[in-house]
Chain A
């Protein structure tokens, strides 16, 4: 397993490049996100995450956890405030630059895996590298290495629909790590899993963090947060709870 940084950024990633010299990986300052009807999902929230840290965002449904994760991932833009990741002002990125930023900087793990059903496990894992235009041979080696490390190499040519929930989430993690991202964002990674599978994924995240991976974890699962996170932040109504 390769932790954050190590050779993860291709030379042609332009504006999406992360400044590795920054001790702060994520700097969210006074961010608000309002949707139609002026309802604030996030309300003047500020947050800082250091490189190598594993932060767990806890809170009830509708508290703004996933919205914050989307802002950090460049999937959405704040209505106000700034989001800086590795020195890049994510809130200013256009769609194309945000895509390049995600390629280079972010690995995303979702509650419902978001694997492509018509691609094999190996092709799902390879996808971020292929989209980034990485050399094929190196990418295949990297995918094989990840599948082996995560214990799912025997399923490489299977389709996601045939795997258990835990196995699918491992595939999703492998895909998220494919481009060696400095930052892993996980949105309820155990939320759709049974207890045994949840434990597998929990161990996986612990191992990743132990190897130096910066992780931001959104979860309802207090056990997961306690096992993995170095720090927890609780959100209520779009604000950090006192």
Chain B
């Protein structure tokens, strides 16, 4: 055992490389923990969050004017579990100091606390629960009302937002104390139910029927299906990141371990000369790799659990669920995986060292096998490049295995960056395509405030100087045979091609009787472009095109003349003639009693912001892991070559030239890894983005997938070089500072 201890003590002497091993392993394990969490969070997120919150299978709202509290409470016996009755009020608040008219009406439930009951344990995402009658906790949706916001309700009283919560069952849009709800003017009673049999629509219909017709109900199945849309959109993305993270972590840990064992070969030779048996050598190699590896793994777990807090918060926001807490099984799995990878790499390397003849181990030591990399060295020597640079370029070819590992590490890092950047650009293109119909015009004329007023603004538009082209657009309900509910429709007047709807297939309609529809419509009806649909209240409509719609709705667009009956209230989108002053034009329209405003992009929505932050965090992590992998490889290489560095310095190589040589040693792996990583990231992007869209039931325009311009690809390919050079900088500095006499003495 003392011999093993001696071998292991080698690691203590090589402090820098040991620190790098610990850091690289820590970072890799951090990536493993986060990747594991991503995969866990992406696996049935709604079901997990629903189970954790004891979500309500059925949420019922009883009219307080028609039902007493006792009658509502009595319905509890119909379910396995029930909670309530909770008083409910509907308020239409206005944010103090906020812009615009009022906020959408909020259904507010009176709950003394967020989650002590058997059902619907609301997760408090920020702030605290309401304690006073004038305090409210807001359910977090796209509408963000942070703690401290003051709301004014219709009766003139004010409410202070004290927290944000999330109910997976979406039982309310806000929560107050029961007394607070009473003060607002209670309108109903809420009951929450859980059933043993709640998995089918039929079972839920039966439960709903049993409550009688007096209650408005909401089934968890509807909420689940709605959540599934969001979930399916992002699962491929997060899974892809998770899998890259795991692959990169395994690679880095394996590479670090193999390097550690290889660097101990000469020491092992000495120990063998002193009587160490082959079995002891293997055990020593395992111990030497496992000790720093385990220290790194523990540090990685701690870092992973800390980073998991913002990561899982972002993921929960994305999925509309609640953040996962630190998951011990993920931590345990990460440690076990790290140990297995270390052992699987160290044991064969140790076995090779054990089989090596003692004399060879002593003679060969840490120098690379003779003959490797000589062609590269010859070519480099004959190049016109500065000698320190060409010496560095040839170096990695002396250790092909280490070169391959570095190539894969850099390739994966570049692939992650390529994927992440492509994803961000794609999502922006999707958003731009989605908003284009609203932003392609310069001016919007809204329908008259008075719904009865059907004044046609076209005469005014025609008479106003500066009007270029325009068209009218408005909502319509369109009954379609084969659909249970009416399709959401949009009717247009004039040439709506100017709206710039992105076509996925076919063409835009040009005459009444033609229509274009969304992917969701085609999926729901089973129709194809070229088919005809019929329905009550209109003639046959020929589907001439498939149009992109980011919301995955059943949507049909047609000319207003295709739908007989009263003309709906239309918004008019005007493209101004070139050179027209928009402000003056708006003033002119407003002077003619038209409600006109400038169109503007809506800006990045909350989901995009979260996705950006998540993507940035994951990319930074993966690139850091890859960078540490490079750092470790270069540290090992520099340590192995320290004597050669001393020789170079003894014949006049300056510290700067030494640093150039070390950084240049990652030049070829950086370039090749980058060039190989870009297509890998490109392929991943071209798989994941359509998969995300498919999961969400939409099809994307090709323009949102073909986002990599040649210039961007070239820059991304160079990113491998930057990553490699970044990883080599520290060891280059170390090599530059190494004292020549010390380096020459090093064996």
Contacts and interface: CB of A to CB of B under 8 A. Distances in A.
Contacts of B744: 75, 110, 114
Given A119-B381, A123-B377, A131-B387, A75 B741 contact: yes
A118 B737 CA distance: 24
Nearest to B643: A114
B388 A131 contact: yes
A232 interface: no
A118 B652 contact: no
A14 to B, nearest CB: 11
A119 B641 CA distance: 14
| Chain A: interface size category | 20 to 34
Given A99-B654, A118-B373, A127 B387 contact: yes
A128 B398 contact: no
Interface in A93-110: 95-96, 98-100, 102-104, 108, 110
Given A118-B373, A119-B377, A127-B387, A75 B650 contact: yes
Interface string B346-386: 00000000000000000000011010111001100100101
Contacts of A65: none
A73 B377 CA distance: 28
B652 A102 contact: yes
A170 B657 CA distance: 27
B652 A75 contact: no
A16 B657 CA distance: 17
Contacts of A24: none
B15 to A, nearest CB: 16
Given A70-B741, A118-B373, A128 B652 contact: yes
A131 B648 contact: yes
Contact of A100 (B373, B388, B644, B652): B652
Q: Chain A interface mostly helix, strand, loop or mixed?
A: helix
Nearest to B738: A95
Contact of A96 (B372, B381, B654): B654
B739 interface: yes
Contact of B652 (A70, A76, A131): A131
B452 to A, nearest CB: 87
Interface in B374-406: 374, 377-378, 381, 384, 386-388, 394, 398
B649 A99 contact: yes
A133 B657 CA distance: 11
Nearest to A73: B650
**B386, B647, B657, most chain A CB atoms within 10 A:** B647
A62 B648 CA distance: 26
Interface in B704-731: none
A119 B657 CA distance: 18
A95 B737 contact: yes
A99 B644 contact: no
**B387, B398, B650, B741, most chain A CB atoms within 10 A:** B650
Interface of B: 367-368, 370, 372-374, 377-378, 381, 384, 386-388, 394, 398, 643-644, 646-657, 736-737, 739-741, 744
Interface of A: 70, 73, 75-76, 95-96, 98-100, 102-104, 108, 110, 114-120, 123, 126-128, 130-133, 136, 159, 161, 175, 179
11 contacts: A75-B650, A75-B740, A95-B737, A96-B654, A115-B647, A117-B370, A118-B373, A118-B398, A120-B378, A131-B652, A179-B652
